[in-house]
Each structure stands twice: as C-alpha cells, then as structure tokens.
Amino acid sequence: MINMMRKRNRQGGFTFMELMVVLLIFIILVAVVILVTRGFFSKARESSLDVDLHSVKTAVDTYVLQSGRWPTASGSLPLQGNVSIDFNASFEKEGQIMVFYPHFITNLPRHWDEGVWRLDSAALVSVDMPRDEY
C-alpha cells in the first residue's frame, strides 16, 4: 500500500492549483500587453495625425499662394461649415500643369481618398474623424 502511494506521488503531472497559478499569471501578462500596445498605438496614430495636419496645411497655403485658388472642388472656401480638400486639384502655371499632389504635398496623408480632409471657412485644415481612429 505504501509502495502504491509512493508510485502515485512519483508520477509526473501538475496539481490543479499549480495549473491555476500559471493560468492566472498568463492572463495578467496578456492583459498588460494589450493595455500597453493599445496606448502605444493610439499615441502613434495621434502623432501621425499631427504631422499630416501640418503637412496638408503647409501644402494648402503654398497652393493658394501660387494659384490664387483653394484646393477644393469649387476653388474657394465655403461661407459656412467646411468642404473636402481635393488632392487632385490643379492649375496651369507658365505652361505647366501644377497638381496639389504631388507638386505641393509629396506624401499623401492617411485617408486622403475618403473625403475626410476638410477646409473650413477660416481656412483651417481638419480631419472629419476621431483622433484615436486615424
């Protein structure tokens, strides 16, 4: 009888409590990783948005100075509200066709083709989407 108990104790395997402790540690590690990466990527998206906003604003200002028009479908700013930026807007200068992209902005911002980049009546550039989704 004692030999049977010794044999059973010598058999490999883990107790239920050992498995539960390992599972709990694994769950905590996964939760920490998820929280860290979500925070990290949302900050990266916001930084990317800030850089793109600055680039588009600079390109819009340069386009207006050289063409006398705004890069919108109508070529002007709205009286109220906002209007989409036309990244394909163009004008002719000294026999050459100048296009908003690639002549004034060399790298297209994210979501450029979705109509979310806007100009308002005060010529402020904005993106019509939440910052954390950019």
Interval 27-43: pLDDT, tens? 999 988 887 777 777 78
- Report yes or no on 6 lying in a domain: no
- Report yes or no on 22 lying in a domain: no
Kindly calculate the radius of gyration of the chain based on its CA atoms and give it in whole angstroms: 29
Number of domains comprising the chain? 1
Mean pLDDT of 123-127: 93
Mean pLDDT of 45-59: 92
Q: pLDDT by residue (tens digit) across 56-104?
A: 999 999 999 999 999 999 999 999 999 999 999 999 999 999 999 988 9
The residues pairing with 91 across neighbouring beta strands, listed in sequence order, are 98
Q: Which phi and psi (to 5°) does residue 3 adopt?
A: -65, -35
- Report yes or no on 13 lying in a domain: no
- Report yes or no on 37 lying in a domain: no
- Tokens encoding 10: 């010598």
Residue range(s) defining the domain that contains residue 68: 49-128
The H or E element that residue 96 is part of is strand 96-99
Instruction: Check residue 70 and give its pLDDT.
Output: 95
- Report yes or no on 18 lying in a domain: no
Task: Show the CA angle centred on residue 131, arms to residues 129 and 132, nearest 5°.
Answer: 110
- Report yes or no on 59 lying in a domain: yes
d(CA 76, CA 86): 11
What is the residue-averaged pLDDT of the chain?
88
Q: Are 125 and 118 in contact (CB under 8 A)?
A: yes
- Report yes or no on 100 lying in a domain: yes
- Report yes or no on 29 lying in a domain: no
Instruction: Identify how many contiguous H helices and E strands the chain contains and give both numbers.
Output: 2, 5
